[in-house]
Amino acid sequence: MHNGLVIDLRSDTVTRPTQAMRAAMADAEVGDDVYGEDPTVRDLEGRVAGLFAHEAALFTPTGSLANVLAVRSVVGPGQEVLCESAAHIARAELGAHGAISGVTMRTWHHPRGQIDLAQIGTLFAPDLGPFFVPTAAIAVENTHNFAGGAVLPLDDLRALRGFADEREVAIHLDGARIWNAHVATGTPLAEYGAVADVLAVCLSKGLGAPVGSLMVGTSEAIEEARVWRKRLGAGMRQVGVLAAAGLYALDHHIERLADDHAHAALLAESLGVDPAGVDTNIVVAERSDAPAYVARARDAGVLVSAVGPTTVRLVTHLDVTRADAEAAARILAGL
Ligand SMILES: Cc1ncc(COP(=O)(O)O)c(C=O)c1O
């Protein structure tokens, strides 16, 4: 049994807003966002669009909804999007792209969630008329959650951009943790923006906001997504209080992600995982019985997740201090 200390490494979504973030939320100017009258939401949307050098952005309650809106903006019903087999859009959005948008998917596989142009080239289906499902877009995830927070190298993204341009298909970038990729590599966010037609980015993961994501794209795509967001029941009213948390996070919580990355490397060592394979804030480790390992860790005061029968995942975040990471590393090394 542990001494009451619980270190929560299940996800970077478990963070609680800091006092300073709460103060920013309390002070936010608000209006009815469905009428387009919330100045703080408008600020956030303009700011995030600018960071990625795109025309516009749309605030959504979740990353899943930002992904649904972004993918449907570039893939019509009866068309397909290609993605890696462990992509969040394929594995963890409960079939939303099919259930809501009539989009089908085919996947390539890479153990580190990387772009594999040879496989993508084999999968790619041109529009041959009323016989085959045509490929309309290719989706990538940076960083890749289930591949252990792996970064997609900018050169690979650029090569994919060239591939997509030659075939006149779109690229969607699920950038739930694009901030981590940016901090880990020093790549400007605008460079990531330049390789994608549409993006989804999250404020509620490593950035520590309690809620909020954005779809990013052209003004036209965002206006259409605004209609679809309302149609799906996610038109929100005085949500400047939430957007203020996002603005605060952009100002104060990006650079500190480097600490999360250092803590993840420390945990990797204690689990016998090569830290060279840990690009950012997620550590994935193989254990013979993942649920049993999760239970043992919980009993010892460390919360981790089983993301497969033999795979456990640990995620560092804003609420995990250096001392917490060191304590967790000690505890896990003894399990
Ligand atoms: C890569 C990726 N995309 C999208 C999402 C969806 O975000 P949300 O939980 O806000 O729907 C997640 C959530 O963890 C994620 O890891």
Strands 80-84 and 104-108, by their bridges, are parallel
Give the tokens for residue 257: 């992600």
Q: Is 316 in the pocket of ligand 1 (CB under 6 A)?
A: no
What pTM value is reported for the model?
0.97
Structurally, the chain folds into a number of domains equal to 2
* HSE, side-chain direction, 13 A CA sphere, residue 304: 34
- Burial of 282 from C-beta contacts in 10 A (0-12 / 13-18 / 19+): buried
Ligand 1 test: best mutation among 140, 144, 202, most atoms within 8 Å of CB?
202
Under DSSP, is residue 152 helix (H, G, I), strand (E, B) or coil?
Answer: coil
* Residue 174 Cβ contacting ligand 1 at under 6 Å: yes
For the chain, the average pLDDT equals 97
Mutate which of 10, 60, 64, 94 for ligand 1? The one with the most ligand atoms within 8 Å of its CB, which is 64
Length of the chain: 335
141 pocket-lining for ligand 1 (C-beta < 6 Å): yes
Same domain as 97, residue 79: yes
Q: Does the beta carbon of 202 lie inside 6 Å of ligand 1?
A: yes
Domain boundary among 252, 267, 290: 252
What is residue 2's predicted lDDT score, i.e. its pLDDT? 61
Give the C-alpha separation, 78 to 187, whole Å: 35
Alpha-carbon gap, residue 136 to 197, rounded angstroms? 12
| Helices 63-74 + 219-231 axis angle, to 10 | 120
Q: Among the three residues 229, 252, 275, which one is the final residue of a domain in this structure?
A: 252
Inter-residue contact 335 to 307 (CB < 8 Å)? no
Does residue 1 form part of some domain?
A: no
64 ligand 1 Cβ < 6 A: yes
**Start-to-end CA span in the chain (Å):** 12
Domain hosting 61: range is: 19-252
Residue nearest to atom 16 of ligand 1 (CA): 145
Predicted pLDDT at 4: 72
Residue nearest to ligand 1 atom 5, measured at CA: 63
Residue 2, domain member (yes or no): no
Helix (H) or strand (E) segment spanning residue 199: strand 198-202
Atom of ligand 1 nearest to the CA of 144: 1
Nearest alpha-carbon partner for 313 in 203, 107, 150: 150
- Residue at 275 is within a domain: yes
- Model pLDDT, residue 5: 78
Instruction: Show the low-confidence residues of the chain (pLDDT under 70).
Output: 1-3
Residues 85 and 120 reside in one and the same domain: yes
C-alpha to C-alpha distances, 197 to 54, 74, 157, nearest whole angstrom: 9, 8, 12
- Kindly state whether residue 98 falls inside one of the protein's structural domains: yes
End residue of a domain, out of 252, 279, 306:
252
- Cα gap 8→93, rounded to integer Å: 23
Judge if 103 and 197 occupy the same domain.
yes
Structure token pair of residue 36: 């387009």
Q: Is the CB of 63 under 6 A from ligand 1?
A: yes
Same domain, 181 and 283: no
CATH number at residue 180: 3.40.640.10
**What was the pLDDT predicted at 162?**
98
53 and 183 part of one domain: yes
